[in-house]
Amino acid sequence: MAHGRTCGRLSSERVTWAKKALSGLIPLFDIGKKSAFYEAGAQGGYKFTPLQILLRNDKIERLKKYEALGVDTRLTAEEICTGIDNRAYNCLRYLLHPLGPETWTEVVAVIRETHPKFGE
């Protein structure tokens, strides 16, 4: 799986991987039930959520600011993939901290099976 700064178009294989690999560890919200933006182009378009935009820079303070303003921080498989692609280790850790440190350790181990340098 490639590492790149992404915010929108993700392969269905990647999203399926995230759902299968992580759904037993963490609750994943349905992206179809979240507010999203749509970006169209000559080759079609894609949707992205406000949280995907916030995960692009791995800045926790910015994430906390928008969370306080009401941004939906329930994670979807697509947002997890965006966080992995953008190396948003700290933001994902913050978003998953209510589940406890053991769950975070398990999530990182699963991610590192396909993205060995995640969090380094």
The confidence score (pLDDT) of residue 49 equals: 87
Q: Is the pTM of this model over 0.95?
A: no
Instruction: Give the pLDDT confidence of 35-63 residue by residue, as tens digits.
Output: 776 666 666 666 778 899 999 989 999 99
State how far the Cα of 115 lies from the Cα of 117, in Å rounded to an integer: 6
- Rounded to a whole number of angstroms, the CA Rg of the chain reads 14
State how far the Cα of 10 lies from the Cα of 54, in Å rounded to an integer: 16
The confidence score (pLDDT) of residue 9 equals: 62
Joined together, the tokens standing for residue 65 give 């600011």
State how far the Cα of 108 lies from the Cα of 90, in Å rounded to an integer: 11
Comparing 45 with 77, the larger pLDDT belongs to 77
pLDDT tier at 112, thresholds 50, 70, 90: very high
pLDDT tier at 32, thresholds 50, 70, 90: confident
% the chain with pLDDT above 70: 82
The confidence score (pLDDT) of residue 5 equals: 47
